Chains A and B, each alone.
Chain A
Amino acid sequence: MKYEATIGLETHIMQKTQTKMFCACRYEYGAEPNIHVCPVCLGYPGALPVMNEKAIELCCKAGLLLDCKINPYSKWDRKNYFYPDMAKNYQITQADEPLCLGGHLTVEVDGETKTFTLERIHQEENAAKNTHVAGASLVDYNRAGTALMEIVSNPCMHSAADALAYLTALKQIMEYGGISDCNPEKGQIRSDVNVSVRPVGQKELGSKVEIKNMNSFAFIQQAIEYEIDRQTELLENGGSVVQETRGFDSERGETFSQRTKENAHDYRYFPEPDLMPVKISAEQVEQWRSELPELPAQRRVRYVSELGLPEYDAGVLTADKATSDWFELAMQHTQNAKAVSNFIMGEMMRLLSEKEIPISESKVTPEKLAGIIALIDAKTISTGAGKQVFEIVFNDGGDPKAIVEEKGLAQVSDDSALEDWADEAIAANPKPVEEYKAGNAASINFLMGQVMKASRGKANPGAVMQMLKQKLDG
């Protein structure tokens, strides 16, 4: 019998808000523990939540970017459970009336275009961060109460590759939309993964296993693959899958049982009496829609159709928002898209990965790159010299034009200098000269290289070629 897997994801994304979801405390990753706290996020007696309107805007914009319907009436609920990461011992969330309904996401998986549908997006508050040390548990409430939205997909994926493509696209859209930085290391994107397996042709889904709270995409992929294998093997051997919550042991690459259905929590949801329902008008939705930024897929199309870039370049440039935004800025100072693209994909990416810094910290600014390209286009410097200038600016900063002058990198087109170098090259290399004259046209390239070497890259290659041909052909 053949089996197929069904996968659904519940992805928690921390929104980029200045303050927490229900109080005025700031959130700052890596801050000294328990400094961004107040009576509200510490669950002190008498403290009350006040809704962060920016978070609502970001959640709805996320919904619009994913083609969700924005719920004109949504409300808050309390989800009750006792754990030291939840100061009030209940979480304010949205149970039956979330902010966003439906929605979908179209991605390419192994060359095939697939559309994955969403069930909903709801807004909630984040939990504190627990750290377990020898003999003690430490709670950092800085993260407690920060704005967190949960994007729930339908059980519509069938492989780890599907899930990975979905998450990658989701992350990219959230970054582009300015909703979240989606940094997995900072816990800004975490997913619960539901996996079930059934015989092909069976209508009902198999028993579902939930793997909780994973941030690394690589681990999510491993966990799904492991879980599909484990469940398929169970079924093939005539066994059955127990509905349960499992954890993922990243060192062993295996999932392990955490809690079975019998021991599942009863969260005792009920409407949050401290907050009013959220009402969102159609005008408000349209206003937010008009503020949405261009998404990577839209940018890719534009880079090809309007800027004439190859598909490959467009894909690389839009893969992350920071790079694409950098490219956009550079294009404000130059018309030469391909040159910008070549520099970004070549020198820039190489140097960034050597230095391990983000593009935002590059000393070559979009404007400076445009300056370098202008020097090349004006034939003031060769492309090779342009790369040198780029690296100098990247390492030490400075003005490209000044560097060209200071380092004497301007191309030499002056005939007398070129003639001297050409004569020297012809005199010193009789063999290639002979070969060229015998009809081997490619041999001229060797002579050309010699001239360029003698000029230390400053000779104008076109002029050199002309000079050599003139001397040898004449």
Chain B
Amino acid sequence: MSELNNLTIAELSEKLAAGECTSVDIVNDVLASIDSNDGKVGAYLTIDRASALEQAQEADEARAAGKKLPMLGIPIAIKDLLNVKGQPCTCSSKILEGYVAPYDATVISKLREAGAVLLGRVNMDEFAMGSSTENAALGKTSNPWNLAHVPGGSSGGSAACVAADEAIASLGSDTGGSIRQPAAFCGCVGVKPTYGRVSRYGLTAFASSLDQIGPLSKTVKDSALLLEVLCGHDKMDSTSIEMEVPSFGKNLTNDHSLAGMKLGLPKEYFVEGMDPEVEKAVHDAVEHCKSLGAEVVEVSLPHSKYAIAVYYIIATAEASANLARFDGIRYGLRVDGKDPLELYGKTRAAGFGPEVKRRIILGTYVLSSGYYDAYYKRAQKVRTLIRNDFAEVFKQCDAILAPVTPTPAYKLGEKTDDPLKMYLDDILTTPVNLAGNCALSLPCGFSASGLPIGLQIIGDSFAEETILKVGHAYEQTTEWHKLKPKI
């Protein structure tokens, strides 16, 4: 019999509607896949089997009672930084061990209302700080395509569980590439929505002006379906935008023509030191889009080269304040001291990992009196220039095609000794977060050693429909998304 866990949201929704399977069947297959594979992949931090089966049961009953909901009975994995009432939310950090969330994030409420089954919590770099999930303090995650390689990060667990068919889809968060890069490394689809599209309420903040929650899935269509559920204004998040949410899923048709579409190719995105296999795969994808009728033009994003510097100033500055609340007073780990200051020091010394400490120190430094103007203020000015770059380019084209990462997934441990080298890998993803617009990552080939390569489709602010259309056309006329890893 077909294993239901291998299927997509769209496929399973059809089967469920036709009465060919139940949500309990799906959850059972997913749990079986977790049992056989997750010992090697290590995507999950916690799974509440009883609760997942109970939610599936309820979904089946709702369906029997005639309820029609967009995610009814579909099991979704949740990145461990989203608050789900009654569940742990560790952010893969020791400092949040023992913390149980007292409330649901808005996206979680939306998933519940849409009928989804919340499956469990997946691993990540501690507080979303990292690009390989090796900074996780509470779990170790491998790339399903090659267990000796990293899954990417920070949403490494979210990408790995989807690639390994240990979930039908998952939620991740993207601050500087944390959805797109692991999606590329693991050969799945990931969307970083426009800043303000999705409520951040209940997302444990890393960098508030950059963070966005988004879907990771097996197909572009599935991401579109999930986005439709996740997007929308939330009065609990003042930075979420009051704007109608398009029918992202329904608007994707079987017409895969890109005629009339103008796609930009930024010359700055084919950086020195880029893996030739990645470069070739992306160029092949560009050619494929041309064959679908798209016109391709060269464009320029001249300030991209400053993106890493700007990103690591702004993100760390915001993080230094966002993470100040983890102090051992109200929840999570506490290491006692003789006075509050000592308690804070000891708790944070024991609770945070080295990368988190590094970024807090960096962020504290750039905000310090006497350095603020030189670092934070200047970074904000350059951020405006990066935003203007994109605004200029989107006058010339409908979407941008680019690589997601300079290389395919590297080996576990390969870059852990050199944080700066790992920072530089974010060069192709951070500009989008700084500018606030949207982007999608999807598979466009494999390296000779069998590791996935990702294509990035970047859209203007609130142009999710455009990038989904391009992605869907490319995906449905290629075979990459059909390949499965052998674990």
Beta-carbon contacts under 8 Å, A283-309 to B? none
A-B pairs with beta carbons under 8 Å apart, 19 shown: A43-B325, A44-B102, A45-B81, A45-B83, A45-B89, A45-B91, A45-B101, A45-B204, A46-B201, A47-B201, A48-B200, A50-B235, A82-B344, A84-B329, A266-B368, A268-B364, A273-B318, A274-B208, A274-B237
Interface centre among B324, B331, B344, B367 (most CB of A within 10 A): B324
Most buried by B among A39, A83, A268: A268
Residue numbers in B under 8 Å from A43 (CB-CB): 325, 330
Whether the Cβ atoms of B324 and A89 lie closer than 8 Å is yes
In the complex, which residues of chain B have a beta carbon less than 8 angstroms from the beta carbon of A83? 340
Query: Known contacts A46-B105, A82-B341, A270-B317: does B325 contact A88 (CB below 8 Å)?
Result: yes
Are B236 and A270 in contact, CB atoms less than 8 angstroms apart? no
Instruction: Determine whether A165 belongs to the interface, using a CB cutoff of 8 Å to chain B.
Output: no
CB proximity of A41 to chain B, nearest CB, Å: 11
With contact pairs A39-B102, A46-B105, A87-B330 given, residues A275 and B238 touching in the complex (Cβ less than 8 Å): yes
- Residues B324 and A46 in contact, CB atoms below 8 Å apart: no
B99 within 8 A of A: yes
On B, residues with C-beta under 8 Å from A are 81-83, 89, 91, 96, 99, 101-103, 105, 200-205, 207-209, 235-239, 317-318, 320-321, 324-327, 329-331, 340-341, 344, 364, 367-369, 372, 376
A51 interfacial by beta-carbon distance below 8 Å: yes
Chain B nearest CB from A449 CB (Å) reads 73
CA distance A389 to B128 in the complex (A): 75
Check: A242 CB closer than 8 A to any chain B CB. Answer: no
User: Given the complex of chains A and B, what is the CA–CA distance between A48 and B198 in angstroms?
Assistant: 14
User: Is there contact, CB below 8 Å, between A274 and B239?
Assistant: yes
Task: Report Cα–Cα, A88/B207, bound state, in Å.
Answer: 15
Query: How far apart sit A275 and B105, CA to CA, in the bound complex (Å)?
Result: 18
Interface centre among A49, A83, A270 (most CB of B within 10 A): A270
Which residues of chain B are near A78, meaning CB under 8 Å?
321
Tell me if A349 is interfacial: C-beta within 8 Å of chain B.
no
Enumerate chain B residues within 8 angstroms of A274, measured Cβ to Cβ: 205, 208, 237-239
Closest 4 CB pairs of A and B: A89-B324, A273-B208, A268-B367, A273-B209
Count the A residues whose beta carbon is within 8 Å of the partner chain — how many? 30
A82 close to B324 (CB less than 8 A) = yes
**For chain A residues 339-366, which have a beta carbon within 8 Å of chain B?**
none
A270's closest neighbor in chain B, by CB?
A: B367
Q: Determine the residue in chain A with the shortest Cβ distance to B330.
A: A42
Counting CB contacts under 8 A, is A139 at the interface? Answer: yes
Looking at the complex, which one of A42, A47, A51, A90 makes contact with B238 (CB distance below 8 Å)?
A51
Closest Cβ–Cβ distance, residue B185 to chain A (whole Å): 26
Which A residues lie within 8 Å of B372 (CB)? 268, 270
Q: Give Cα distance in the complex from A43 to B341, angstroms.
A: 18
Minimum C-beta distance from A238 to chain B (A): 33
A74 CB contacts on chain B under 8 angstroms: none
Distance of A83 Cα from B68 Cα, bound (Å): 50
Secondary structure dominating the interface of A: loop
- Bound Cα distance from A78 to B367, whole angstroms: 11
| Residues in B neighbouring A269, C-beta threshold 8 A | 367
Write out the residue numbers on chain A whose beta carbons fall within 8 Å of the beta carbon of B367: 80, 268-270
CA distance A139 to B343 in the complex (A): 15
Query: Pick the contact of B96 from A45, A51, A84, A276 — CB < 8 Å?
Result: A45
With A and B bound together, what is the CA distance between A276 and B102 in angstroms? 26
Instruction: Tell me the bound Cα distance from A266 to B367 in angstroms.
Output: 9
Cα(A78)–Cα(B319), bound, Å: 12
Chain A residues, CB < 8 A from B237: 48, 50, 274
B366 to chain A, nearest CB (A): 9
Measured between beta carbons, the chain A residues less than 8 angstroms from B205 are: 45-46, 274
Neighbouring A residues of B201 by C-beta, 8 Å: 46-48
CB distance from A36 to the nearest CB of B (A): 15
Q: Are B83 and A46 in contact (CB under 8 A)?
A: yes
**Bound CA span A83–B341, Å:** 8
A51 to B89 alpha-carbon distance, docked (Å):
26
Shortest beta-carbon distance, B324 to chain A, in Å? 4
Contact A44 B331 (CB under 8 A): yes
In the bound complex, residues from chain A placing their C-beta under 8 Å from that of B82 are 46
Chain A min CB distance to B369 (Å): 5
Residues 40-82 of A, flagged 1 when their CB comes within 8 A of B and 0 if not, give 0011111111110000000000000000000000000010101
B113 to chain A, nearest CB (A): 19
Note all chain B residues with C-beta closer than 8 A to A276. Answer: 238-239
Instruction: List residues of chain A with CB within 8 A of the CB of B207.
Output: 273
Residues of A within 8 A of B239 (CB): 273-276
CB pair B208 A90 closer than 8 Å: no
Given A45-B91, A82-B344, do A50 and B325 touch, yes or no (CB 8 Å)? no
- Taken together as a complex, chains A and B put the C-alpha atoms of A87 and B324 apart, in Å, by 9
In the bound complex, CA of A392 to CA of B367 (Å): 68
Question: What residue in chain B is nearest A141 (Cβ atoms)?
Answer: B330
Contacts of A275 in B (CB 8 A): 238-239
Closest chain A residue, CB of each to CB of B208: A273
Residue among A45, A47, A51 facing the most chain B CB atoms (10 A cut-off)? A45
| Chain B, Cβ-Cβ closest to A130 | B340
A43, A49, A276 pick with most chain B CB within 10 angstroms: A43
CB proximity of A179 to chain B, nearest CB, Å: 24
Residues of B within 8 A of A139 (CB): 329
Decide if A268 touches B368 in the complex (CB within 8 Å).
yes
Q: Mark A74-106, 1 if CB is under 8 A from B, else 0.
A: 000010101110011110000000000000000
What is the CA–CA distance of A87 and B320 in the complex, to the nearest angstrom? 15
Contact A268 B236 (CB under 8 A): no
Question: Which residues in B have their C-beta under 8 angstroms from that of A46?
Answer: 81-83, 89, 101, 105, 200-205
Taken together as a complex, chains A and B put the C-alpha atoms of A54 and B376 apart, in Å, by: 32
Measured between beta carbons, the chain A residues less than 8 angstroms from B81 are 45-46
CA distance A84 to B103 in the complex (A): 23
A322 CB to closest chain B CB (Å) equals: 36
User: What residue in chain A is nearest B90 (Cβ atoms)?
Assistant: A45
| Docked CA distance A49–B208 (Å) | 12
By beta carbon, the residue of chain B nearest A40 is: B236
CB distance from A123 to the nearest CB of B (A): 15
B contact residues around A82 at 8 Å (CB): 324, 327, 340-341, 344
- Contact A80 B368, beta carbon cutoff 8 Å: no
Using CB atoms, name the residue of chain B closest to A23: B236
A275 to B99, CA, bound (A): 26
Report B129 CB to chain A, min CB distance, Å: 14
| Closest residue of B by beta carbon distance from A275 | B238
- Closest CB in chain B relative to A140 CB, distance in Å: 13
Q: Which residue of B lies closest to A38 (CB)?
A: B103
Cα-based distance from A80 to B205 in the complex (angstroms): 16
Chain B contacts for A50, CB-based, 8 A: 235-238
Residue in B321, B326, B364, B376 whose Cβ sees the most chain A Cβ within 10 Å: B321
A49: chain B residues within 8 A (beta carbon): 238
- Given the complex, which residues of B lie within 8 Å of A84, measured CB to CB? 329, 340
Q: Cβ of A48: which chain B residues have Cβ within 8 Å of it?
A: 200-201, 236-238
Closest to B204 in A: A45
Q: What is the CA–CA distance of A89 and B340 in the complex, to the nearest angstrom?
A: 12
Task: Give the distance in Å from the alpha carbon of A275 to the alpha carbon of B200 in the complex.
Answer: 12
Instruction: Add 9 more A-B contacts to A46-B105, A46-B203 (CB < 8 A).
Output: A43-B325, A43-B330, A45-B89, A46-B204, A47-B103, A48-B200, A50-B238, A88-B325, A274-B237
Measured CA separation A216–B318 after assembly (Å): 38
